[in-house]
Structure 1
């Protein structure tokens, strides 16, 4: 082969490729071509400088897209996070409709370069991963995830195998979030089943899929999502009905799937679905209940009413689903269905908008939810649901240290939770928030009592089962905790890492260290389980493995203090705390 042949000019090396692209670039250019071009040019200069700090270099600028090369997956992902931070900082001085946001994709493999640029599947896959990322997010291949999962303390959500344009085989994909805390609470797929698929329960079982918003205004989506939320909530109150949790049901929001397939994935007999169209002060809601075995609609209805009737519509839909699945409605449960509604419909709107932010589990979104719940209470100070929701945002702030005064946040959360249960003693949410606050104030009996009241009011709330289980673990009743966690996982098949964390804690207290290791290794965010994992290996005598994990933990959590951790643990039994401290010390903490 001659020295000047095309093949001899191609260089091969292993590395990571990042592709980032501006969201809605054509729209921005159409609004103000000169300003957008100037702003992007300035931004790209900053990004090139930042890229070098992460041992990478920008290989190409493709219009509004950036192609950068790195030696390691860790460097590429750290730069991707920095890219979004720089863009957000730059946007602070720009009008909201002129802000520049990126999507990013990262893949790891063999890079081919020649005098014409960078080539190969690795570039194509990175570019296609970028296309499926939400604005401000990073999508990475499983190859990248395996390299960074124990090294970088970010949040990882498994999106499943993704079919990418012009890529032959589906690519298992993860979304990376800079804030890891909230991801442990968010529902997620997992690369492999955590437990064998369970048969349908003996009682009638139903999943309510997210209602579709048919209006022309995308911002009206909160109406459809909120209505779905509330129908699930109302159905959950019937103990003779098995209802899939909201988080798992909402996994099907962007998917096109037959009722039979959705029912099979969720392990239920019936699927409810519908659509919402809002026009002025009128709302049209279509609902149908489908028997997944026969794919036959066994009940359907269309409501064309003024929007003030939305609470009556919710009640009608709930009772029709319950009646169609042949469940006896006890008088007490029927009475409980009539939840206290706000005097001001606008207050209800604020709560529904708040729910959209709350379930995103980021510091900023939690703050947005908090503000909306406050506005709801300003409109209707007697609205129990808004008070319970405010308590929830404060509990989340406390849990993840998203507030400067953690003690005050917990005290304020307690006040709002108590106010909620006083206003409406039939609402499970207020009692659930009371249970959380009492636990971390180390009032175990009050915590367990509040959770029991909450579950009596809403026996199908998966997160309540998990939180109750956590309180049981800290109170020394680990076997009961495991039972509730398994029930939570069945109600919420796409359960968050938090369930696994709680389950690992129960197994550790029972000294079932192999079960701890098996459980924690199924977390999508392993840096959050490294302490209990290291302690379990150490207790099994595998000290070298334990200390390797402890070293990774120090890298991801440089500010961890064992003394501080032991002080804030809400264990009722001192022996449980010391048992964990013993394992951590053996592991080298």
Structure 2
């Protein structure tokens, strides 16, 4: 292959650049720049617009320099004997579409349905995995992604409308793409019904029809259109009475405005077979159920209900499909097995809709130390189940054109683990979107309180407007779920930074009582104890939090480093903070710690980062945002900052 066809830019899915059969490495941000150019009119954009989209800096010269460097790096990446990838002038940048091909352009410019060789363009998100540096960049990628999705749908529908030219595998593939994007797509439904019926698989044809019908009813309150119903009748999928006249009544499924996953915990097998292990099995079942319920992110079907469902199935009862309240997304199977001292608990998490095993483990249960080992076992199972379910829900969100409030909340929760302003502000946007779908979602209100409070703290702000907004969000979280440990945690956080020390400790104590194994609550409780002057107790809780969450968010290390600093163990503070040394939010504490530890050079380097990130910072401002009950603790920090060269 020679000419333009041998030079190809892939932007759908994992982005990459190819020339003459070889991949050309580009900087990660180059693909976002190319995506904006390729989707722009004439593949050209004003440089100032590009600068404002791709860089957050308030300094125009800094943005201009960043764009120049990026364009130069891209240009250096292209071999000298090849056409330039980007044509740049003083005012504009343009993708060289005359000499380079791009999948987005092929998809957009092709009037006829794509040939089979180009069907890969029907999959993959625009610059998949790209983390937008600005809200505008995120919005542009989202808008262009929607346009690409519409163009793809048109191509797929055109391909399915000529089924005589398609193999059975082609139809399954194409219809599957439409269903993944929109489970209520009736073109895909009819194609699947016809294909399964032609293969003699009426059961699968019926399943395709009723899945589409249910989705239409749930999402739009509508029935399938006349073409779909007529095909269902022709294929014998439904009886005439279901199409003609009034449709057969089906009980309405209540729409869950949150979209939280429902988890069924099935009882240990030993409950039904081994009387010796019966009590242990029941206790484990209850402990895991309670632990997952405390996470507040799942709707857990109670142990008694799961036992009743199992008993019915064992009795061989032939029942109708379960009512909505007994349908579930994930199943947790627990088995107790072994004898005497060799007792094991096996746990398996399954995605109900696909029967896919997402996680499984076999853990020993020491009967001679049953209380200790039982507690550890239950905590480990709960933490891993919660993490696995959340990660799976986030993965599923990438294929969901209308994500639930819960999935939007999870995206924000993922970003909150970082302490830089960019991630905090992106998280705020996700929480806001979740609340737009359900304004009584306690966890999203708690998340909003967290990002507002953290932004106030990271910026070291003098006014308290953000902190007041954080407090309002925290109370909304508490009012919508009085038993939420996370809501109490945010109330404790705000009370601490408003110097209501006793209230703060009371809120954290209640949060820990409601959810004793929540590592985030322990970490923040430790911070409140530190600022109250109880550094030894703070250290104990901080280490316990990291033990529960060995791969913690940034602020765990920030809090722990602060404890060591107050205890004048500066070397240990530096060791802990070194894991988050690239975060601007920790530069203040690192500057003071290095200065106190005698390393003025490193202290000065971190002091310069403080001023670069927060130009208005002054050491006297520390009194405003560091809420130490003991003024000497604050003086110790200010002294370290001044030793580092900050004024």
Give the TM-score normalised by the residue count of structure 2.
0.45
Higher RCO (CA < 8 A, seq sep 6+): 1
Greater strand fraction, Structure 1 or Structure 2: 1
Greater helix fraction, Structure 1 or Structure 2: 2
Higher-Rg structure is 2
Give the TM-score normalised by the residue count of structure 1.
0.48
